Amino acid sequence: MKPLSGIKVLDLTHMLAGPYAGMVLADLGADVVKIEPLVTGEMTRSLLANDPDYSFKGFGAYFLTLNRNKKSVSVDLKSTEGLSVFYDLVKSADVVLNNFSAGVVSKLKIDFDTLKSINPKIVSCSITGFGETGPHSSRPAYDQIVQAYGGGMSITGPDANNPTRAGIPIGDLSSGLYSVIGILSALLSKEKTGKGQHVDISLLDVQISLLTYMATMQTLSGKDPEPIGNAHFVHVPYNTFTAEDGFIVIAVITNSFWDSLLEVVNIEELRNPEFRDQPGRLANQEYIENELNNKLITKSSSYWINELNKAKVPCGPINTFSQALADEQVSYRNMVVEVPHPDGGLVKMPGNPVKLSYTGETTYSPPPHLGQDTRKILETWAGYDASKIEALITSKVIQAAD
């Protein structure tokens, strides 16, 4: 049994931040039901759907990955009848998750105040760019906007003239993760108080949180940090280095690591007593890194990584996606899994990183076709009989897959 088994989630999300949060909840066992518009469904159903490289049987990579373990109910929320259907589902739900722009939930009449009048124990979560309050709450935002706005881009890249976003969409993904934390916190609180509550997640808030100690350094000093590429502002050597056939990363943060590194590379010039401690290494960063590069380029990356690992010096290759996904440690940890398609066949994708000792079951069901579960969910969650469901289908309030 999975840890969130029995938790019912209505997932109104689209694109990345919200669907990722829903995916994490679903992977952990929650019964996550996508509430989708008629005909087109959630927008990522069509994204890359016909791309010869990035789709499988009409499902693009976005939809395949983010909607595993979920079900689909297709409802016209803009109609009075469709809204009534949604409210009937809310009565038996535990969580309602959305990432509409600020204010949209109120216009659709699915805001927390409305939902709690239907189900006082409901937990709702809204993911927006700037939050649901404040002078900029109505502004639209996407991942790169908040990476820039939140300060992260100003310290990423080779120098101050080339601000660079993170290659992974951390604005969206970290907000999805914080949403899960907020939802689980609210569910735990409900167990104690009997009351539901609303979780307000802002992409910008999350990016500010991720600045952590570097933000405190700025408030203490008044100095804005600048990007330094792959180097570290304190530790040396802590950077990317060039081997004979590629790149490796070495991270020396203690004097004992430095001593072990010297035993591996055996560069006499680096045995200078001035380099024995961190301040001396930092003051001579360029010289130390140049000497290391001159030596490391003489042998393959695999040779150096093997030798450095034997000496317990923190290091690693700069893997491509294909190399990372094929790594034996990644495989052993079951971090590349095969997820079925509803029409047959399997697709490889990242697995669930949450490893639990007691309720750690890891199974994956296919991402759903649009309206695939409309009939079943309306029967089991809302108590509708077959004739009522067919009448709603006929009047185009809901859509069900044949």
Q: Which two tokens stand for residue 106?
A: 């109120």
Strand runs labelled E in 104-155: 123-128
Selecting among 111, 172, 205, 373, the annotated active-site residue is 172
Q: Residue 235 gets which letter from DSSP?
A: -
Cβ proximity of 86 and 75 under 8 Å? yes
Residue 39, by phi and psi: left (phi above 0), alpha (psi -120 to 50) or beta?
left
**What CA–CA distance (Å, rounded) separates 247 from 263?**
20
Estimate the share of the chain in helix, then strand, then coil, as percent rounded to the nearest 5: 40, 15, 45
Decide if 343 is catalytic.
Answer: no
**What CA–CA distance (Å, rounded) separates 77 from 35?**
9
Element (H, E) at 315: strand 315-317
Burial of 74 (0-12, 13-18, 19+ CB in 10 A): buried
Cβ proximity of 73 and 378 under 8 Å? yes
**What CA–CA distance (Å, rounded) separates 316 from 250?**
7
**What CA–CA distance (Å, rounded) separates 144 from 164?**
10
Cβ proximity of 281 and 273 under 8 Å? no
Cβ proximity of 353 and 23 under 8 Å? no
Q: Which two tokens stand for residue 163?
A: 């601000």
Peptide bond into 367 cis (omega under 30): no
Rounded-to-10 torsion of CA 139, 141, 145, 146:
90
Q: Are strands 198-202 and 315-317 parallel, antiparallel or unpaired?
A: unpaired
Q: Cα 62 to the chain's mean position, in Å? A: 12
Rounded-to-10 torsion of CA 330, 331, 332, 333:
50
**What CA–CA distance (Å, rounded) separates 52 from 60?**
10
Catalytic residue IDs: 172
